[in-house]
Chains A and B, each alone.
Chain A
């Protein structure tokens, strides 16, 4: 991948992109949808964040230092935990450790399988592979976990009569919580599965597009994209299952009595918008 093989974006290009967002924001302001402000804010944020990430990646790739890579991955993990919990508004407090554990376990699995078994880069910590991989994985898993956690606790609250009846008939906490676990994992996985099924037909995933635009062999790009889509889908399921298995007992107190802990806070309109975003327009690697 040489730097001059693809068409560089100049300042003018960035300005045009921002102008498009401003027009869209203007239209939505006229229609009083209430998303104009957050749209502009999110755009500014994404521009700054992406540029900063680009600079950091450039630096880390040039340095080629194992500790820098590990440090950056750790930082991304912590940010992922924070974002997951910020979005999982229906979940109770005190889940930091659980979410971190689920993410670390699946992260290690991913690095072991995708990087070291499938791609086998040299050196093993090759930052140009590990860092984008981590980013794509976390981006997907954060949404799935937030969605899954919200759904689980929501479902456990909705099913109060059902859970109580089940317990009264002699169900274990596992048996009483199972329908909520299933619906939560199913919902968390839905966007991932849809993405997997539609990739290559209605969408050319972002990573593959990027590689092709950058002049790589399309078949090679497709293989890369497939490996990553498939493993991210599988690992999202693993992360989701781990987290639900670790948290379901929190809906019960001693002697297997049903008591769902309070949500961290009531979902606001902004949270609902976010949640919709998680459920709908979410995509794997862009």
Chain B
């Protein structure tokens, strides 16, 4: 890094990944999930990542967050290599949101404040998580997601699957990542709440972040770009319009 001659100005993306390869252990041997993939995303974009199950979509997103032990590649944020970041600062900026919500703490408020108990956000450690993230901000975020009925002192394990998924999303969104890697965040939600979450992510993108969503549902009209991961290949496909069945206001199956 830094030592390369840059005769032609290269376009610097918010986030770029090059030469991403994942080789998983497989029945005593190895299986290449994908090899040499490239990807980039810019501010304001909402990219939908689709593909058959087992094609490696989650593997790709965890590779971007540099969490995946089986993946290698070069990852850049504003053109700066991930190796120049500490793992903690990299993951605070390029945030992976797992498909299964894991909420730690005795209350919803505690679960959402967890990121502020970590050194990467506490800095010197003088300030308490409660000072860094107010109740009002948590409340406002939950309300926008259709979680008005979730109180801050709710016990996390009493939440429904859809509520837990949104509390988990709230926790990550409130940390203001620059790139949000959302793994099927709307899988367990009904149409109305899926729409609210989609609007929220669109807003996050408009405010300057990039959003990559793994999705299995019908297109919801929020994506600015769509990519398909299949047979180890990543290809762009035309953005599909909202299909009849997913019409938020038609209410199929509601």
Contacts and interface: CB of A to CB of B under 8 A. Distances in A.
Nearest to A161: B102
Interface stretch (B92-100, B138-146, B202-210, B245-253): B92-100
8 contacts: A162-B104, A167-B91, A168-B96, A172-B120, A175-B119, A255-B82, A257-B69, A259-B69
Interface stretch (B8-16, B60-68, B155-163, B223-231): B60-68
B96 A175 contact: no
Given A162-B102, A162-B104, A175-B119, A168 B91 contact: yes
Given A162-B102, A165-B102, A170 B89 contact: yes
A255 B97 CA distance: 18
Contacts of B65: 168
B66 to A, nearest CB: 5
Contact of A168 (B69, B89, B98, B119): B98
A209 interface: no
B118 interface: yes
B88 interface: yes
B55 interface: no
B88 A172 contact: yes
Interface in B47-105: 65-69, 82, 87-89, 91-92, 95-98, 100, 102, 104
A64 interface: no
Interface residues of B, number: 27
B120 A170 contact: yes
Given A175-B119, A257-B67, A169 B102 contact: no
A112 interface: no
Indicate the size class of the contact surface on chain A: 10 to 19
Given A169-B175, A172-B87, 16 more contacts: A161-B102, A162-B102, A164-B102, A165-B98, A167-B67, A167-B91, A168-B65, A168-B97, A169-B92, A169-B114, A169-B118, A169-B171, A169-B172, A171-B88, A171-B118, A259-B69
Given A162-B104, A170-B115, A172-B118, A253 B98 contact: no
A175 B91 contact: no
Contacts of B96: 168
A158 interface: no
Contacts of B67: 164, 167-168, 257-258
B64 to A, nearest CB: 11
A161 B98 contact: yes
Contact of B87 (A162, A256, A259): A256
Contacts of A257: 66-69, 87
B121 interface: yes
Interface of B: 65-69, 82, 87-89, 91-92, 95-98, 100, 102, 104, 114-115, 118-121, 171-172, 175
Contacts of B88: 170-172, 256
B118 A170 contact: yes
A160 B67 CA distance: 12
A253 B172 contact: no
A27 to B, nearest CB: 45
A168 B96 CA distance: 6
A4 B161 CA distance: 74
Contacts of B175: 169-170
A256 B68 CA distance: 10
Nearest to A165: B102
A94 B24 CA distance: 24
Contact of A169 (B69, B82, B89, B95): B95
A169 B92 CA distance: 6
A240 to B, nearest CB: 24
B121 A258 contact: no
Given A169-B95, A169-B171, A255 B118 contact: no
